[in-house]
A and B are shown apart, each in its own frame.
Chain A
Amino acid sequence: MTKITVNLITGRTIQQGVSMEAGKEKEDYMKSCGIIELDAVDIAKLGIWKNSNVRVVSDFGSVVVKAIEATQGPHPGLGWIPMGPWANMVIDTNTYSTGMPTFKGTPVTIEPAEKETVLSSIDLVLNACKE
């Protein structure tokens, strides 16, 4: 199975903001934040269709999200998951004595996961707590 490595950053999108205010337990929040934006070049390297599910893995955890083509690109080698519980499954937890986890600049590998599902924010957190 093809795997690629990218540098992951997180942050706000307007869809993340609107869906967050509309209710984090709702499907729209999952559709806005349970995604990874990848450059077209990286999607081609991964050998997947756009809008199919992938597993993102880092030294700090793993999560299944939907891979979409970058809406604010091009940025080859850079992955983008909007801020939220999906991103926070894999970001670098180190604060280096500042209090601030390293939300930007986490190396992650991405592999196709078409048969796995993207969970809602509540299910994602509660299921992971049981593990």
Chain B
Amino acid sequence: MTQLVTDIICPFCGTLCDDIEVEVSDDGKKIIKVTNACAIGAEKFLHAQSPDRIVRPRMKQEDGSWKEVTYDEAAKYTAKILCDAKKPLMYGWSSTSCEAQATGHMIAELVGGVVDNTATVCHGPSLIAVHDVGIPSCTLGEVKNRADRVIFWGCNPAHAHPRHMSRYSIFSRGYFTTKGSKSRKIIVVDPRPTDTASVADYHIQIQQGRDYELIDALRVALQEGPLPETVAGVPKEKIYDIARLLKSGRFVTIFFGMGVTHSLGKNHNIDIAIALTADLNKYTKAAIIPMRGHYNVTGSGQVLGWQFGFPFCVDLSRGFARYNPGESSANDLLMRGEVDANFVIGSDPGSHFPFKSVKVINELPSVCIDPHMTPTVAVSKCHVPVALVGIEVGGSCYRMDNVPIESRKVVDPPAGMLTDGEFLELVLTEVQRIKGVAA
């Protein structure tokens, strides 16, 4: 007889869907079927069972081949490269639990490392903008129940957050939005006619990189001020129409993604998007939410915030926390050759950093903690596979709207495999021994 495990949290994206159901074998060891998850989330659960999964730590040899080692040996190597380094980079953290992050930060404090998370290539500019101008925000529950005007600016949830639209933002029926998508007007701003745009009421095909101008024009249009004939490739009549549509709503929510954070302007694009939200509050209720990627990148920002006061690129090399994006951020440090060891957990910079940074990682003493084979593993000297958080071990995670949710264990990890938290504890103990610090 198979068993059905219900109310599982999906450990893929920042939507943290909490209604996944997983059918497991009667001995609780094998996942048979995943329901309710999106295609990406389901694949994540199923790939945990892959027969070619790497289950033991390994070190790269001179000839490029891998040699299996014990977790103790891997922990000793990790502790040594971190302690030997003057300024080790400890990057990632977004696909692991808050508890593991907190343990990792204790190591970073002892070795004087720089702790950066995936926000640095995702919503880092959004965090800088929040420092600049604050943020009027809300929870996804409020969006579901109240939002009758929803903007997706530079994001494509149909591909990146596949169940966001059905659970919260377009199709869901809420307390004041009883007719689902018919209760809302959906606006998509994107230089491409995306699959999200195809289910929206309005698609604004903006010229790429002209977000600041168009948001500024919308702020003018809210006051019926003068505009040129076109702004960012959009006719002024359409801008006035959208401004009136927003003002007529009872609850406006702006979701924004990499379209604004990755384009030139970066944090300034978000500064003005937040200013637009503040302006809209003169006419109606409005909130703005970043579409966070990794399932616990928000949690990493939270934990760093509690412990050091800053949400990403925290430099502990002087014994106290410093924060200066552009100086203490992962890509700037790597490309300028300012770090002398590389530690990666819960992310894949080998795939998602510019190659110039990846090449530097290849030359450094390095360790990668990751359940799977990735380009980061390929350029690292030590690979430590671990149990998957949210599938093989539980732990706290933060949804994109900063709501903490406890993820659940579904099946056992492969025999003898450690979790992120357990491996980091081994490293911490070894670092304390090397540094002569009492546990």
A residues near B (Cβ < 8 Å) are 7, 9-14, 16-18, 20-25, 60-61, 70, 72-75, 78, 80, 83-85, 88-89, 91, 93, 95-105, 121-122, 124-126, 128-129
Contacts and interface: CB of A to CB of B under 8 A. Distances in A.
Interface string B192-218: 111101000000010011000000000
B321 interface: no
Given A18-B40, A22-B43, A122-B375, A98 B267 contact: yes
Contacts of A105: 208-209, 262-264
A102 B269 CA distance: 13
Interface in B75-125: 116, 120-121, 124-125
B252 interface: no
B174 interface: no
Contacts of A11: 156, 159-160, 258-259, 262
Contacts of B313: 99
Contacts of A60: 354, 356
A98 B326 contact: yes
Given A21-B44, A78-B192, A121-B375, 4 more contacts: A20-B40, A60-B356, A83-B352, A99-B331
Which of A74, A80, A125 has most B Cβ within 10 Å?
Answer: A125
Contacts of B327: 97
Nearest to B43: A21
Given A24-B375, A85-B351, A99-B331, A125 B358 contact: yes
A71 B125 CA distance: 29
A75 B128 contact: no
13 contacts: A7-B208, A11-B156, A17-B39, A24-B348, A72-B193, A74-B193, A78-B191, A88-B355, A99-B313, A100-B121, A122-B378, A126-B378, A126-B379
Contacts of B179: none
Given A74-B193, A125-B375, A96 B266 contact: yes
Nearest to A105: B209
B5 interface: no
A-B pairs with lowest CB-CB distance, top 3: A99-B329, A97-B326, A17-B40
A95 B159 contact: no
A7 B56 CA distance: 43
Contacts of A16: 159
A80 B156 contact: no
B343 to A, nearest CB: 18
B40 A14 contact: yes
Nearest to A61: B355
A80 B262 CA distance: 14
B120 A73 contact: no
B258 A14 contact: no
A104 B266 CA distance: 10
Given A14-B162, A89-B355, A125 B378 contact: yes
A75 B193 contact: yes
Contact of A12 (B43, B160, B261, B378): B160
B160 A129 contact: no
B350 A125 contact: yes
B355 A125 contact: yes
A6 B146 CA distance: 41
B391 to A, nearest CB: 11
A91 B263 contact: no
A13 B40 CA distance: 10
B351 A21 contact: no
B40 A21 contact: yes
A100 B262 contact: yes
A21 B47 contact: yes
Contacts of B209: 104-105
Contact of A129 (B194, B352, B359): B359
A83 B128 CA distance: 23
Given A14-B40, A75-B193, A100-B124, A24 B351 contact: yes
A11 to B, nearest CB: 6
A124 B120 CA distance: 23
Contacts of B192: 70, 72-73, 75, 78, 80
A116 B375 CA distance: 21
Contact of B39 (A18, A83, A104, A124): A18
Nearest to A9: B208
Given A23-B47, A60-B356, A75-B193, A85 B375 contact: yes
B40 A101 contact: no
